[in-house]
Amino acid sequence: RRPYTVIGVMPAHFQFPIQTEAVDLYTTIAEDASNAEGFKPATEARGSHSVVGIGRLKSGVSIAQAQADLSTIAARLEKQYPDSNTYFSVLLKPLREDMVGDVRTALYVLFGAVVCVLLIANANVANLLLARASVRGREIALRAALGASRARIVRQLLTESVLLSALGGLFGLLLAEWGTAALIRAVPQNIPRIGDIQLDASVLGFTLLVSLATGIIFGLVPAWQASHVDLNSSLKSGMRIGGDGGHKGRLRNGLVMAEVALALVLLISAGLLIQSFARLGQVQTGLRPDRLLTARISLPASAYPKNENVISFFAQFLPKVRALPGVEAASTIVPLPLSSSNMVTDFDDADHPLPEGQRATAPARIIATDYFKTVGVPVRQGRIFDEHDTFTSAPVVIVNELFASKFFAGQNAVGKRIAPGFSAGDEKPLMREIIGVVGNVKHHSLRYDYTPEMYLPVTQIPFNETSLVVRTRVVNAASLTSAVRAQLAAVDPNIPITSVRVFEDYISRSLARPRFNALLLSIFAATALLLTAIGIYGVMAYSVAQRTNEIGIRIALGAAQSSIFRLIVGQAMALVAISVGIGLAGAFAATRLLNSLLFGVGAWDPLTFGAIVFLVAAVAFLAAWLPARRAARVDPIVALRTE
């Protein structure tokens, strides 16, 4: 083992910008000692294209200028080193885009949902302020008669509105303090900068600004409407200002229509994400994920410098694991399926050789014997790797069904020879015979289609870093962790075992972001629907109260209760019908933004659109039902007594 000197200590929560997992130690690429025999360090291996560079541009230098300079360098290297640099270039992009680019769309969608809920809530408040101003009509008229100017009345009502908004914002901050902790627990760990989610000065300032702005904007119109009074009629009759007709009634109806339209957009978006998540959860991975224990094992090149050392280690370790009580099978693979890692190589076809740079490429997996038995991947043709496939035996390879059908269409792939761009030393890649064809597996992501893949034996391409997979006979696969650690220590007590988890955790992590997006948007949509229902109920209840005399006259003249009920409900549903038309147009536009977040469902899925329209109509009917029922039961004598 090589000793290392600690030269610095980073802050406790430091995370390198592009790293995907927690890291405890950092060293330079030049000091990397993890490579086995035949695998040069990244500073020497010109064919290694997995290094990511980070730099800070000089002041005044644009991304385009830097990209042009790097492309020139890459072109020069391609000419100097055609064997390793042909068709390879450099892609330059801002670090922020690299870190949050894949979550940017989701953030925009969620921010849009927040804005929609805010607008719906404010529309409700504006309607309440309009109704309250009508109730205070005599008071406002009296103030005007005593000399209060219209501006003074507007200022008073606007002050009340802003005060209500400020109190609401304060209450919202108290809820946010509690909700932030719950949000962090619910946020998938693979979303960048989770630790930055907190209530800081910028959040407090933004909340204050939004509270004041909404108080002014949504309180101004009701205040202005309320200040427009007819002193004679108001003071003489003591009636409430405005009634339910005219421009005030249209304004109230318009606010309700806006609520319904916005709620419809949110509900359709949430419905699409829920459907997408449900279908993603039903995707077949191609292997059996239950009762699988996984772990990462790293053999330092300083202790295992030669290929024979690596092969010997696993030849001792794997039989010990397989012999454990409760273990059905065990093997290794690199990279592990659904672990966000991938390994791609080009390959040559013995029957149709091509020059380097023009060859086809495919993902490659390095596996030990019994891998397909361990993970439950079916063998379609030929055989799998066994103890006869050694470092000195004939080079072999296994491909999946898609590889066979794509590159050997109409032929039997077994027996064909290809040369993957992997070798266990400095020699050129060897031609390998395809000895078997296995089922397709979703290695990279549940969202992507199956890809052509090849499997190479670890006994011929030894890797110091690999993942252990154990098929257990017990339901709780994690219960065997201690036993596996003990067997590893029995072979070499200095080898660490890390990232121990059941394979279902990787599937859960793949579903974490879609689940989180669907959950948040569903909460916003449900909140919007509830607020909209309250808004419809409030407007219809206010309308019934304002029209009590009219309803009493209708009943006195012989109108049936059912006709009164239909009258009120019909008015509500007419508003909803217009709102649905507007909302559908908005949904068609908004769901285009969701395309990159959807899986297995179109952005304009007719089933989702139809179901949500029915849901909104049903909720609107229920919201109007109580006021309509109350109107139908009005006593005409009581109603007319006030005339």
pLDDT digits (tens, 9 = 90+) for 575-623: 899 999 999 999 988 888 888 888 888 888 899 999 999 999 999 999 9
- Pairing type for strands 454-457 and 379-382 reads unpaired
Q: First vs last Cα of the chain: how many Å apart?
A: 100
Domain-terminating residue out of 494, 524, 555 = 494
Q: Which of 405, 446, 436 is nearest to 287 (CA)?
A: 446
Shared domain check, 304 and 276: no
Shared domain check, 614 and 563: yes
pLDDT digits (tens, 9 = 90+) for 384-438: 999 999 988 999 999 999 999 999 988 999 999 998 877 666 566 788 999 999 9
- Enter the DSSP assignment of 292: E
Residue 270 counted as domain residue: yes
Domain-terminating residue out of 494, 529, 551 = 494
pLDDT surpasses 70 at 630? yes
Q: Which of 340, 363, 343 is nearest to 445 (CA)?
A: 340
Shared domain check, 176 and 272: yes
- State how far the Cα of 223 lies from the Cα of 353, in Å rounded to an integer: 81
- State how far the Cα of 437 lies from the Cα of 381, in Å rounded to an integer: 5
3-state DSSP assignment of residue 421: coil
Q: How confident is the model at residue 83 (pLDDT cuts 50, 70, 90)?
A: low
- For residue 243, the model assigns a pLDDT of 45
Residue 151 counted as domain residue: yes
The average pLDDT across 206-229 equals 74
Shared domain check, 397 and 342: yes
- State how far the Cα of 2 lies from the Cα of 36, in Å rounded to an integer: 15
* Mean pLDDT, the chain, whole residue set: 82
pTM of the model: 0.75
Residue 92 counted as domain residue: no
- For residue 432, the model assigns a pLDDT of 92
Shared domain check, 321 and 223: no
pLDDT digits (tens, 9 = 90+) for 176-199: 878 777 777 777 766 666 666 777
Q: How far is CA 367 from CA 37, 296, 402, 569, in A?
A: 18, 14, 19, 68
pLDDT surpasses 60 at 40? no
Which range, 341-350, 352-361, 398-407, 536-545, is most confident? Answer: 398-407
Shared domain check, 535 and 461: no
User: H or E stretch including 128?
Assistant: helix 95-135
The first and second tokens of residue 522, run together, are: 């569903």
Query: Which residues fall within 8 angstroms of residue 333, CB to CB, at 6 or more apart?
Result: 365, 366, 367, 368, 371, 466, 467, 469
3-state DSSP assignment of residue 365: strand
Tell me the residue type at 551.
I
pLDDT surpasses 60 at 264? yes
Shared domain check, 206 and 148: yes
- Specify the long-range contacts of residues 596-600, CB closer than 8 Å, at least 24 apart: 596/105, 597/105, 597/106, 597/109, 597/273, 597/276, 597/514, 597/517, 598/272, 598/273, 598/276, 599/276, 599/279, 599/280, 599/446, 599/447, 599/514, 600/275, 600/276, 600/279, 600/280
Shared domain check, 267 and 326: no
Domain-terminating residue out of 437, 463, 494 = 494
Residue 599 counted as domain residue: yes
Residue 44 counted as domain residue: no
Shared domain check, 395 and 516: no
Structural domain for 151, as ranges: 102-282+510-641
pLDDT digits (tens, 9 = 90+) for 596-608: 888 888 888 899 9
For residues 441 and 287, is the Cβ–Cβ distance under 8 A? yes
Q: Which of 465, 439, 135 is nearest to 314 (CA)?
A: 465
The average pLDDT across 272-283 equals 88
CA 579 to chain centre: 30
Which range, 43-47, 121-125, 358-362, is most confident? Answer: 121-125
pLDDT digits (tens, 9 = 90+) for 121-169: 888 887 777 777 666 666 666 676 677 777 777 777 778 788 888 888 8
Residue 627 counted as domain residue: yes
Tell me the residue type at 18.
I
- State how far the Cα of 194 lies from the Cα of 188, in Å rounded to an integer: 9
- How many independent structural domains does the chain possess? 2
CA 317 to chain centre: 39
Shared domain check, 275 and 307: no
Per cent of the chain over pLDDT 90 is 30
Residue 408 counted as domain residue: yes
Query: Which residues fall within 8 angstroms of residue 615, CB to CB, at 6 or more apart?
Result: 267, 529
Shared domain check, 555 and 470: no
- State how far the Cα of 521 lies from the Cα of 108, in Å rounded to an integer: 12
pLDDT surpasses 80 at 563? yes
The average pLDDT across 199-207 equals 80
Shared domain check, 169 and 305: no
Residue 119 counted as domain residue: yes
- State how far the Cα of 332 lies from the Cα of 99, in Å rounded to an integer: 31
- State how far the Cα of 580 lies from the Cα of 616, in Å rounded to an integer: 8
Q: Which residue has the higher pLDDT, 534 or 106?
A: 534
- State how far the Cα of 429 lies from the Cα of 397, in Å rounded to an integer: 13
